[in-house]
Structure 1
Amino acid sequence: MSAAVTLALLFFFSVALKEVKGCSCAPGHPQQLFCMSDIVMQAEVTGEKIIHSGGIIPGMGKIQYEIQVIEVFKGFDRINEIQHVYTNEMSSMCGTRLGHGQYLLSGSITPEGFFVSMCDYLELWDKLSLMQKENLKYRYLMGCTCMISTCIEKPCQPSTKK
């Protein structure tokens, strides 16, 4: 490929990347995020690897986190197939960065595997309160038939008469 074509492509992609809107997530109650997830677990992140998409656009790959599952709160039947957690490399694509340590991880099963984003219920395990940890173990799964509505404007109106 000629240098002029390469420069033109790089310019085009840099302009296109600037046009990408940032990730936005609707606020959600932890139980709502729990119930919408395919899998919820406590896991330790032990390593990471960038997986390039094979394209020429930098940053459009995935991050593969190696994990060690500690406890499963939801998705017990799917947990045996989970060895890694994936996320988009770019935060503008809702990707999230995880350091080494223990996390509450929730997310979806995709054809690529267990996938998490910054819109999921993700938190350092030590930052969760005792009540949040108890809710994960004993209450959230039983309450998935009763969805909690998040109020984002004042005054809050009940979603149903009950």
Structure 2
Amino acid sequence: MDELDSAILGELQKDARQTNRELARRLGVAPSTALERVRSLERRGVIRGYHADVSLSALDRSVQALISVQVRPLHRQVIDSFQDFVAALPEVLSVFVVAGSDDFLLHVAVQDLDRLHAFLIDRLSKRKEVTGFKTSVIYRHTRSTLSPH
């Protein structure tokens, strides 16, 4: 990673839909240089994909929460099975396997507080490996881009 690679990442995080020609102009390099560098970053796994930033409120899923979950017994099969289960649920945006007093942290988005409550009661509490969970409703969420430096 050099300064040009870092600049490319910064520009693509701002607007991944810009043309290669526009990217090159913004960086002050030849379009062929920009294209080769982007392809190199993709081959090396630095750039893993391009994604749409979707408005949750436009999808009527404006209530977000972080749910910390404890499971038992702590065996790989239990952890993997629970991770696969929650990752497939439409309410779940992200699943984190964590260290400490909690085993998982789930980021969920639902229509309203009633749907959040239903998710907790109908989905999580019915799982035999779940021994407890704690919910924090998110009032505001700001996503920052990763600084390549």
* TM category, shorter: under 0.3
Which of the two has greater strand per residue? 1
Provide TM-score, normalisation by structure 1: 0.23
When Rg is computed on C-alpha atoms for both structures, the one with the higher figure is 2
Q: Of Structure 1 and Structure 2, which has the larger fraction of its residues in helix? A: 2
TM-score (structure 2 length as normaliser): 0.24
